[in-house]
């Protein structure tokens, strides 16, 4: 695994409300809470996040965003470019602080990014998956067991001793996912893992994540994608536009909704 891949959830935290005269922000504080039922892995209500321009104005990126994702399932997050998918994922992963709203994410949580070369950094597959376990008070036998189990979950156990430099991009992504699983994460956040991969590797990675969630003890995965064909592997999905959730439900419902929007758009530009 790697030092940047794992983002730990904190205990209950109240984000301070910025003073209007010092920052110009006028939205309410956000809270991160652990007091949500075990059946829910991710929940946010009326979440907001803005960025400040050079002129000092605040531009909303996430606006009144709400969603609920149950534990132990594989969900996907879709939407047009620039709608706020990756920003929302970073908020869920603790990489960005929301400006307002309610947020709960089970802990521990792990983040896997688009480019596997930024995460898979150790010389061998075994060493990379074991890398993040060094911070836990566990013995070598436990480390060996966790590494083997995680690699088996993503279909990479036979590559245990393989040098990382000999792997394809898709295989590296699966190693990154295995590193997160080895640390027994409750929530796995995945940002467009197939963006840099060829077609065969794309299918291999999404199948590996689906399989690892199904065989886990309650791990939840949220996968950001723009590929409708990947929805066939999802238990549920969320569709975003303009920084907010428009619809969430089962994968077929979201797929039909997006295809209907695409057909309507094509009809408009051809009329």
Confidence at residue 215, expressed as pLDDT on a 0 to 100 scale: 84
Confidence at residue 159, expressed as pLDDT on a 0 to 100 scale: 95
The candidate with the shortest Cα–Cα distance to 97, out of 128, 122, 61, 140, is: 61
State the DSSP code for 136: S
Beta bridge partners of 238: 77, 248
The phi, psi pair for 43, rounded to 5°, reads -145, 130
Confidence at residue 38, expressed as pLDDT on a 0 to 100 scale: 67
End-to-end CA distance of the chain: give it in Å, rounded.
52
What is each CA distance from 214 to 9, 75, 82, 268, in whole angstroms?
A: 23, 12, 31, 41
Confidence at residue 269, expressed as pLDDT on a 0 to 100 scale: 64
State whether residue 204 is helix, strand or coil: helix
Domains of the chain: which residue ranges? 6-270
Which tens digit of pLDDT belongs to each residue from 127-165?
999 998 888 888 999 999 999 999 998 889 999 999 999
Confidence at residue 30, expressed as pLDDT on a 0 to 100 scale: 46
The candidate with the shortest Cα–Cα distance to 212, out of 238, 240, 239, 193, is: 193
Confidence at residue 271, expressed as pLDDT on a 0 to 100 scale: 58
Confidence at residue 28, expressed as pLDDT on a 0 to 100 scale: 38
Confidence at residue 10, expressed as pLDDT on a 0 to 100 scale: 30
**Low-confidence residues in the chain, pLDDT < 70:** 1-38, 265-271
16/19 Cα distance (integer angstroms): 9
| CA of residue 230 relative to chain centroid, distance | 15
CATH code for the part of the protein at 6-270: 3.40.50.300
Confidence at residue 101, expressed as pLDDT on a 0 to 100 scale: 95
The candidate with the shortest Cα–Cα distance to 197, out of 219, 225, 221, 159, is: 225
The candidate with the shortest Cα–Cα distance to 170, out of 122, 221, 215, 114, is: 114
Confidence at residue 16, expressed as pLDDT on a 0 to 100 scale: 33
Confidence at residue 147, expressed as pLDDT on a 0 to 100 scale: 95
114/191 Cα distance (integer angstroms): 6
């Amino acid at each position: 695994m790697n030092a940047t891949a794992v983002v730990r959830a904190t205990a209950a935290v109240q984000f301070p409300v910025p003073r209007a005269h010092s920052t110009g922000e006028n939205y309410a504080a956000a809270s991160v809470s652990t007091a949500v039922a075990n059946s829910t892995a991710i929940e946010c209500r009326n979440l907001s996040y803005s960025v400040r321009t050079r002129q000092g104005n605040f531009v909303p990126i996430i606006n009144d965003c709400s969603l609920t994702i149950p534990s132990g399932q594989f969900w996907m997050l879709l939407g047009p470019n620039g709608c706020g998918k990756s920003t929302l994922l970073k908020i869920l992963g603790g990489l960005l602080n929301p400006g307002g709203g309610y947020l709960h994410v089970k802990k521990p949580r792990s983040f896997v990014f688009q480019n596997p070369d930024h995460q898979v950094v150790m010389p061998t597959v075994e060493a990379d998956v074991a890398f993040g376990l060094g911070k836990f008070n566990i013995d070598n036998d436990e480390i060996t067991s966790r590494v083997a189990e995680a690699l088996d979950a993503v279909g990479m156990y036979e590559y245990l001793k393989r040098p990382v430099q000999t792997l394809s991009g898709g295989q590296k992504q699966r190693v990154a996912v295995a590193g997160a699983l080895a640390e027994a994460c409750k929530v796995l956040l995945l940002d467009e893992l197939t963006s840099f991969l060829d077609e065969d590797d794309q299918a291999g990675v999404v199948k590996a994540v689906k399989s690892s969630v199904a065989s886990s003890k309650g791990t939840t995965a949220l996968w950001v994608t723009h590929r409708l064909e990947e929805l066939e592997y999802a238990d549920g999905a969320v569709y975003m536009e303009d920084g907010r959730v428009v619809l969430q439900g089962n994968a077929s419902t979201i797929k039909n909704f997006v295809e209907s929007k695409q057909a309507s758009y094509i009809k408009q530009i051809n009329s």
